[in-house]
Structure 1
């Protein structure tokens, strides 16, 4: 039995602190609360942080190394949606990844969007349908159905994969939550979305969207980009505790290393005016209740002894962490026993099946004359894009697109089909000569390349092929490479080294004029055909709303005018 005496204990029921003592082994045995105690100072004990909407692969690492990285930040439980691995390897590879060891508790949500759209719009390495959902539901570590991203399927009157998946999950797990992804959905469409059984959202919120979605019965998972002065005010003024929690969704390795994990979201919420007692509630008890994790999230008899000992409440500085009653971290010495990554099956380390490409694989020809072409116009503040219109002068069947402020962009299919490359153009990309190619490209993880010339694009793509996955950076002066050996999306390096590498990618993008709030993620989602409005896949330009492939050469000349 371990005792923490004369400490301030977080009270989840009253969202306050009581002075007292805690007795525990693996679970909490007794909590002595002196409700009228007027003592001052001393250590503070709160439940371990619980992150119920996140993607481990967004940190480009394994559950084992992820555990080593986030546990010192107080995260003791996560619910991971590993749709990135599923898109690359299918269910077999997904389960192999899920079975990797970790010190923190990793539960899972079944990926519902593999691929994110359909085989007509993108090529992935795996697919999840109703039968795969039934198979995965047999696992004890499955808590939820992962984010439903294809809202068009929900609104359709026809049978489709998304509806089959939801039906299968409801049959296997009738009392488990179904997670949602619904940016810019409101009104009657929001009602249809929720009525289908998908009753949460983690996308970027405003004060208005919070009011509408919570009023409609939706549970909100607030990630860092939604933590703003106006949204925190909306959550606090209307006393919405229990209708939302904090989450991380995607945290790049360098950001995690420098700024933290769920603790960073909690601190930002406090900075914008949320009382610390409410912020702790939204990172512990509220997420536990959403995921039916009734054995944690509260300091009370019978609950797991996942405890954070805080020695500075103002900064949330963690002195020690107990996991299942055992001390696993102290601020002086770090992790007691870091998790080691076991030997991996080589088939997961040789996943790029594409043959090397050449410049002749990029067809950028246009009939001679002055004409308007369709381009992806990238937003610098968000991950959204829109249809752009560019007038070009075509001479001898070619044009100088870089001089016109455009980059060539393509998603090169990597799964052994040797599909023809369907290049297009991006506005607001690289302003300095260079090329970046990444096999970490949401969600199908084909080889996404952005370049100021075809010659540089080919060099970058072939570097990724040669090295079996990773991020290639190429310009006239030099080449550099970040290996992502596991499926082309996961590094085998320790988090500090990986963080340094990704910070280098971010610097390269900035130095070459790529403007974005989150440069690496912003680039990676240019190939995500569920995020508005116009994206690139291995099939070509994808109209996200209409769910169709567009021809950039004829879009403005065949009657398909952009609204």
Structure 2
């Protein structure tokens, strides 16, 4: 803002000149007093300059609809949508999301600082407020085989970007608890620049929450129960209720929210595929879920807007009031969150479920470092998946929990054989993580239960957070074929049966993002999921998303890494038997 623009806004606010836009005949939600207001909304230069009786160069008739603040997704990895920031905006704007706080640690784990720069530059072209938190743990743990390592010195220059709000989810709790030098530098740099620090406290004790708060970590999105939520709130944290494509914690955490503490809660999606974003939506879905579960609608909408803005110091977002950005939603049904119009900075960007602007991602920005990221020493063969075992010794098995990021460690007796083969009857399948960044032949093999596949194999280059190749299969030949297909297409998702490719979704940008439109990716994912029954999958969860989190060694209990099985609670690798 400069002198001239401030004078223009003041003149419009005082009625000395017409506002750029005036919205009339709307029922305005006051998220502060939790009541309705009947007034005109005057907008100039994208900012609300008054509520009252105004004239405008443009007049919009709200026709009695409710006008509420635009939704804010408090924590999201845009890369998990598998599309670029511009295409991501097209997916969420019709659902009322006008701002997001994103952590680009997925692409950073593959392509380092170049990946972060790519996301920031693409975000600047999107008609959506995209704010960034800098990846704090690349790799997620020191032993991980990621494509990059980002130290405090690598992150520091990014604080000069106005879109950067702070340091993203600090998940390496060992480094925090032990006061590791580079972690202290990262935490200190964020605070010296006046920025926020996000937490990642999955399964951590109250003592570790004390340590995180002492490190000035302000929030946590890994809460799964009422008790965990209240423990963090009483220690001064904000808590995010998460509803992604895998982790669905909104309803289990919602009982912790009451009129006294509601301002300390807000919504996030964390990781959500583009097909789910297009069909179900984002924060709008959580607002609806919360209302259906009995939360007062005013509180639900407040959790969807103002609270996230307050947590991140976004002083001009989250309310329909003077001095706030004109990020507005027109609602025809409050409880159903029926959005008829989305406005960003006073400009209509979506109406009746469709975006009304045309903009395409500029793939020219993707250089070789972002496009050539699947490096294998040589095509894999069946021999690479042989798993010697000893009869009489129990085997450690990863047991998945559908629609949860957590897993269980289970022990099962070894079969009477010197080599493990998948046991379809007992749903014991092979899982493999193949390092894809260096070209070295590094592979971890294990056993997983819960996918229910009867034939074939699935593989993807989306495997949090180091994003090596991860695959699950019923036989060695199909495992090899699925992984080799990912190498051929530069990353993505693939399903194979009897050595034949059923379908694949190419994600050439860092093996995480498509260079195509959101609609194209949605259609291709639809074809992929239609093929899953051919290999026996009948579960009520997304198998690719579930698979992608089985390599994340900071969420309990047991995960698969490129260097073997990892016990998260003990924070050490463990043998197969």
| Normalised TM-score (structure 2) | 0.88
- Report how far residue 226 of structure 1 moved: 2.5
Which residue of 519, 531, 535 corresponds with 2:543?
519
Cα–Cα, structure 1 residues 416 and 247, in superposed 2: closer, same or farther, change >3 Å?
same
- CA offsets 1:58-107 (integer angstroms, 9 cap, x no match): 11111010011111111111111011000010012221122112111111
Alignment of 1:437-456 (within 5 A): 437-456=459-478
Alignment correspondent of 2:236: 217
Between 467-476 and 356-365, report the one with greater CA deviation: 356-365
Corresponding position: 1:108 with 2:127 = no
Alignment correspondent of 1:48: 70
Which residue of 466, 472, 481 corresponds with 2:488?
466
Alignment of 1:187-206 (within 5 A): 187-206=206-225
d(CA) in 1 for partners of 2:445 and 2:516?
A: 33
Kept in 1: contact 2:103–2:134 (CA 8 A): yes
Kept in 1: contact 2:112–2:148 (CA 8 A): yes
- CA offsets 1:479-525 (integer angstroms, 9 cap, x no match): 12111111111112222232233344445556634646443321110
Alignment of 1:346-495 (within 5 A): 346-347=367-368, 348-354=370-376, 355-367=378-390, 369-380=391-402, 382-395=404-417, 397-402=418-423, 405-476=427-498, 478-479=500-501, 480-495=503-518
Question: Considering only aligned residues, what root-mean-square deviation do their CA atoms show, in Å?
Answer: 2.2
Corresponding position: 1:5 with 2:24 = yes
Which residue of 232, 246, 253 corresponds with 2:267?
246
Between 397-406 and 491-500, report the one with greater CA deviation: 397-406
Kept in 1: contact 2:203–2:556 (CA 8 A): no
Alignment correspondent of 2:6: none
Corresponding position: 1:547 with 2:571 = yes
Cα–Cα, structure 1 residues 402 and 145, in superposed 2: closer, same or farther, change >3 Å?
same
Task: Specify the SS of the correspondent of 1:57.
Answer: helix
Which residue of 84, 94, 101 corresponds with 1:72?
94
- CA offsets 1:376-416 (integer angstroms, 9 cap, x no match): 22223522223222222344x32433256421111111113
Kept in 2: contact 1:382–1:517 (CA 8 A): no
Alignment correspondent of 1:29: 49
Alignment correspondent of 1:97: 119
Alignment of 1:292-303 (within 5 A): 292-303=313-324
Structure 1 residues without counterparts, runs of 5 or longer: 35-39, 554-563
- Report how far residue 145 of structure 1 moved: 1.0
- Report how far residue 186 of structure 1 moved: 3.3
Cα–Cα, structure 1 residues 182 and 137, in superposed 2: closer, same or farther, change >3 Å?
same
Cα–Cα, structure 1 residues 319 and 400, in superposed 2: closer, same or farther, change >3 Å?
closer
Alignment correspondent of 1:556: none
Between 344-353 and 254-263, report the one with greater CA deviation: 344-353
- Report how far residue 218 of structure 1 moved: 1.0
Kept in 2: contact 1:133–1:169 (CA 8 A): no
Alignment correspondent of 1:341: 361
Task: Specify the SS of the correspondent of 1:375.
Answer: strand
Corresponding position: 1:17 with 2:17 = no
- Report how far residue 461 of structure 1 moved: 0.7
Alignment correspondent of 1:532: 556
Corresponding position: 1:182 with 2:204 = no
Alignment correspondent of 1:260: 281
Task: Specify the SS of the correspondent of 2:169.
Answer: strand
- Report how far residue 43 of structure 1 moved: 1.6
Kept in 2: contact 1:60–1:491 (CA 8 A): yes
d(CA) in 1 for partners of 2:218 and 2:21?
A: 40
Cα–Cα, structure 1 residues 222 and 433, in superposed 2: closer, same or farther, change >3 Å?
same
Cα–Cα, structure 1 residues 519 and 161, in superposed 2: closer, same or farther, change >3 Å?
farther
Cα–Cα, structure 1 residues 243 and 89, in superposed 2: closer, same or farther, change >3 Å?
same
Between 306-315 and 72-81, report the one with greater CA deviation: 306-315
d(CA) in 1 for partners of 2:236 and 2:128?
A: 31
Between Structure 1 and Structure 2, how many residues are aligned? 538
Kept in 2: contact 1:382–1:516 (CA 8 A): no
Kept in 2: contact 1:409–1:448 (CA 8 A): yes
| Normalised TM-score (structure 1) | 0.91
Kept in 2: contact 1:434–1:475 (CA 8 A): yes
Kept in 2: contact 1:67–1:339 (CA 8 A): no
Task: Specify the SS of the correspondent of 1:466.
Answer: helix
Corresponding position: 1:166 with 2:166 = no
